[in-house]
Amino acid sequence: RWAVGACGRQPALVCRMGSATSAILLGGRSAVDSIQQEKGVVGYVPGGWDMFHVGHLNILNRAKQECDYLIVGVTTDDALFEMKGKRPIVPLAERLAIVEAIGVVDEAVVDFSRNKVQVWRRVGFDVLLKGDDWKGTAKGDQLERDMASVGVRVCYLPYTHTTSSTELRRVLLAL
């Protein structure tokens, strides 16, 4: 099956069959954009997805309602440490496998960067979806400016206040 991907840093059509991979380099953003049009509105929701819980599921279900094709970014262990000052409890490969198994997720990718414009250049999407706990914050305002610079809309989704990875971590460490 052919899919939009990358060969090195260049956009490409990638086909994986068993252990073999073929790639056709594409000629820049316009080629990626034309392929994405076939997918309709492409949404991207980044996150750590550590200790997957109902709040995560709620965000993904709501995100899928805002787009035709949902890509979920799973942040690397190192990037999470850089952002939050602590390592995730569940390692990247397992978090990626969990997210890929969720039915509303069309594609899961590794998210290496805080800079979502860099992610957009690599992945391509029309709308970035975040929990509404970012709305009106300095980081949310910056995200909106960054995404607007490349024509991407930011959509805030209701955050589930009753469950969080931070609270789960606190409870686990207290045991």
Q: Could you report the per-residue pLDDT of 66-111, keeping only the tens digit for each?
A: 999 999 999 999 998 988 888 898 999 999 999 999 999 999 999 9
Tell whether the model's pLDDT for residue 123 goes beyond 60. yes
CA distance 44 to 10: 20
How many Cβ atoms sit within 10 Å of the Cβ of residue 45?
Answer: 28
Is the pLDDT higher at 162 or at 136? 136
Is residue 111 within 8 A of residue 48, CB to CB? The reply is: no
Q: What is the mean pLDDT of residues 101-124?
A: 94
Strand order of the β-sheet with 10-17 is 2-7, 10-17, 20-25
Task: Write down the pLDDT at residue 9.
Answer: 45
Is the pLDDT higher at 60 or at 37? 60
Tell whether the model's pLDDT for residue 16 goes beyond 70. no
**Residue percentage of the chain with pLDDT more than 90:** 56
Please state the pTM of the whole predicted model: 0.75
CA atoms within 13 A on the CB side of 159: 11
Is residue 72 within 8 A of residue 106, CB to CB? The reply is: no
Tell whether the model's pLDDT for residue 131 goes beyond 80. yes
| Confidence category of residue 36, pLDDT binned at 50, 70, 90 | low
